Chains A and B, each alone.
Chain A
Amino acid sequence: MTVQASEHDGLHIDPYEKRWIMLSIILLIVFAAAVAVSAFAFGYQVPLPEQRVNPLTITESGPFANPGLRELAPGKYEAYIVAHIWSFTPNEIRVPAGSTVTFYVTSQDVQHGFLIQGTNVNAQVLPGYVSKLTYHFKKPGTYTFVCNEYCGLGHQAMYGRVIVEAP
Chain B
Amino acid sequence: MDVKAFTFERKLAAWNIGVAIAALAIGTWFGPLQAFEHAGLNLYKWLAPGIKSYYQGLTLHATLNALIWTTFFIVGFFSLTIPYTLNRKLRYPKVNLAALIIMIVGLLLAAVPLLLNQASVLYTFYPPMKADPLFYIGLTLVVVGSWIAGYGFYFTLYAWRKENPGVRTPFIAFASVVTMVMWQFATLGVAAEILGMLLPWSFGLVKGTDPELARTLFWWTGHPLVYFWLLPAYVSWYGMVPKQAGGKLFSDTLARLAFWMFLLFSLPVGFHHQYVDPGVPAGWKFLHAILTFIVFLPSMMTAFTVIASLEMGARARGGKGLLGWILKLPWKDPSYAAQNLAMILFAFGGIGGITNASYNVNLVIHNTIWVPGHLHLTVGTGVTLTFIGILYWLLPHLTGKELFSKKLGLWQAWLWFIGMIFFSNSLHLLGLHFGVPRRTAMGMAPYNLPEWRPFQIEAAIGGFILLISFLLFLVNVLGTVFASKPLEKPVEMPVAESVQDPQLTPAWMDNWRPWLAATVLLLAVAYGPILYEMIRSAQFVSPGFRVW
B539 within 8 A of A: yes
Report yes or no: B278 in contact with A125, Cβ–Cβ below 8 A.
Answer: yes
Q: 8 Å CB contacts to A: which residues of B287-314?
A: 289-290, 293-294, 296-297, 300-301, 304-305, 308
Contact of B300 among A24, A32, A124, A153 (CB under 8 A): A24
**What is the CB-to-nearest-CB distance from B40 to chain A, in angstroms, rounded to a whole number?**
13
Quick one: closest B residue to A113, CB to CB?
B367
B282 within 8 A of A: yes
A126 within 8 A of B: yes
CA distance A111 to B279 in the complex (A): 13
Report yes or no: A21 in contact with B210, Cβ–Cβ below 8 A.
Answer: no
Report yes or no: B274 in contact with A124, Cβ–Cβ below 8 A.
Answer: yes
Report yes or no: A122 in contact with B504, Cβ–Cβ below 8 A.
Answer: no
Residues of A within 8 A of B368 (CB): 115, 148
Contact of B304 among A17, A125, A131 (CB under 8 A): A17
A134-154 vs B, Cβ < 8 Å mask (1 yes, 0 no):
000000000010111111110
Residues of A within 8 A of B543 (CB): 56
**What is the CB-to-nearest-CB distance from B128 to chain A, in angstroms, rounded to a whole number?**
5
B431-472 vs A, Cβ < 8 Å mask (1 yes, 0 no):
000110111111011110000000000000000000000000
Which of B246-254, B326-334, B399-407, B483-491 makes up part of the contact surface? B246-254
Total inter-chain residue pairs, C-beta < 8 Å: 208
Report yes or no: A31 in contact with B294, Cβ–Cβ below 8 A.
Answer: no
Q: 8 Å CB contacts to B: which residues of A3-52?
A: 7-14, 16-17, 20-21, 24-25, 28, 31-32, 35-36, 38-39, 44-50, 52
B316 within 8 A of A: no
Count residues on chain B whose CB falls below 8 Å from chain A CBs. 72
Report yes or no: A120 in contact with B364, Cβ–Cβ below 8 A.
Answer: yes
Report yes or no: A28 in contact with B281, Cβ–Cβ below 8 A.
Answer: no
Report yes or no: B281 in contact with A48, Cβ–Cβ below 8 A.
Answer: yes
CA distance A63 to B548 in the complex (A): 30
Quick one: closest A residue to B447, CB to CB?
A159
B350-381 vs A, Cβ < 8 Å mask (1 yes, 0 no):
00001000111111101110000000000000
Residues of A within 8 A of B547 (CB): 85, 109-110, 151-153
Known: A39-B286, A128-B539. A115 touches B275 (CB 8 A): no
Q: 8 Å CB contacts to B: which residues of A97-142?
A: 109-111, 113, 115-118, 120-132
CA distance A36 to B251 in the complex (A): 34
Quick one: closest B residue to A126, CB to CB?
B211
Known: A85-B547, A111-B211, A152-B547. A49 touches B280 (CB 8 A): yes
Report yes or no: B445 in contact with A10, Cβ–Cβ below 8 A.
Answer: no
Contact of B277 among A14, A17, A126, A151 (CB under 8 A): A126
Contact of A21 among B250, B300, B442 (CB under 8 A): B300
10 A-B pairs within 8 Å (CB atoms) are namely: A11-B506, A14-B308, A31-B354, A32-B290, A35-B360, A56-B543, A110-B128, A128-B210, A132-B278, A146-B435
A residues bordering B, Cβ < 8 Å? Answer: 7-14, 16-17, 20-21, 24-25, 28, 31-32, 35-36, 38-39, 44-50, 52, 54-56, 85, 109-111, 113, 115-118, 120-132, 144, 146-153, 155-157, 159
Q: A127-B542, A155-B440 are in contact. List 15 more A-B contacts (CB 8 A).
A: A12-B504, A21-B300, A35-B289, A46-B276, A115-B368, A116-B435, A117-B435, A127-B541, A148-B368, A148-B440, A149-B126, A150-B122, A155-B439, A156-B442, A159-B447
